[in-house]
Amino acid sequence: MLCTIMMGNYVLVQGILVERLENGNLVVRVGDKLFEGVPVAAAA
């Protein structure tokens, strides 16, 4: 599943969902790199 996360105030990363963490953050994979951040709410 493709997910978008926010890292910091201005950096958004879109990648394949790897894991949902207990603190509410998501881990996504982009190529061979993993990124952790806060999920971005879907637009209406």
Domain range enclosing 9: 2-39
pLDDT(44) > 80: no
Instruction: Answer yes or no: pTM beyond 0.85.
Output: yes
Residue 29 lies in a domain: yes
Query: What total of structural domains would you count in the chain?
Result: 1
Residue 44 lies in a domain: no
Instruction: Quote the pLDDT of residue 31.
Output: 96
Q: pLDDT of 11-32, one tens digit each?
A: 999 999 999 999 999 999 999 9
Across the chain, mean pLDDT equals: 94
Residue 30 lies in a domain: yes
Give the separation between CA 12 and CA 3, rounded to whole angstroms: 10
Strands 33-39 and 26-30: antiparallel
